[in-house]
């Protein structure tokens, strides 16, 4: 191929440098050879978003932030009130279910 970029060349110069005829295209054998040598004519796909980033995207919501603050306040109130009110078995179950 010439040293000039392909977009600066005329269509005839590009087809000549690539060794093809625009009227007939590539032969089956030449197309198979180029496919084996260069791979398919497609752009690489965008890499998938990691699962941890998708999870954090779900947590980036003002309502979720409000609920997390409410859980922290509720837990602090429960821990501070514990010396005055002994733990009952059902209170632990209620607290643990609020985290889920």
Instruction: Look at 69 and 3; give whichever has higher pLDDT.
Output: 69
Chain CA centroid to CA 24, Å: 42
Return d(Cα 33, Cα 23) in angstroms, integer. 20
7-47 pLDDT per residue, tens: 888 888 888 888 888 888 888 999 999 999 999 989 889 99
Within the chain, residue ranges assigned H as helices are 11-18, 28-38, 51-59, 62-81, 89-99
Tokens of 22: 């625009």
Phi/psi class of residue 25: alpha, beta or left (left: φ > 0; alpha: ψ in -120 to 50)? left
The model carries a pTM of 0.39
The burial of 10, by beta-carbon neighbours within 10 Å (0-12 exposed, 13-18 middle, 19 or more buried), is given as exposed
Instruction: Look at 95 and 74; give whichever has higher pLDDT.
Output: 74
52-83 pLDDT per residue, tens: 999 888 888 899 899 989 988 988 888 887 66
């Amino acid at each position: 191929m010439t040293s000039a970029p392909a977009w600066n060349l005329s269509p005839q110069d590009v087809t000549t440098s690539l060794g093809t005829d625009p009227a007939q295209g590539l032969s089956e054998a030449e197309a198979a050879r180029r496919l084996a040598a260069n791979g398919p004519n497609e752009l690489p796909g965008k890499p998938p978003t990691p699962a941890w980033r998708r999870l954090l995207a779900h947590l980036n919501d003002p309502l979720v932030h409000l609920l997390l603050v409410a859980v922290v306040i509720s837990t602090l109130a429960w821990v501070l009130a514990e010396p005055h009110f002994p733990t009952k078995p059902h209170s632990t179950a209620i607290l643990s279910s609020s985290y889920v």
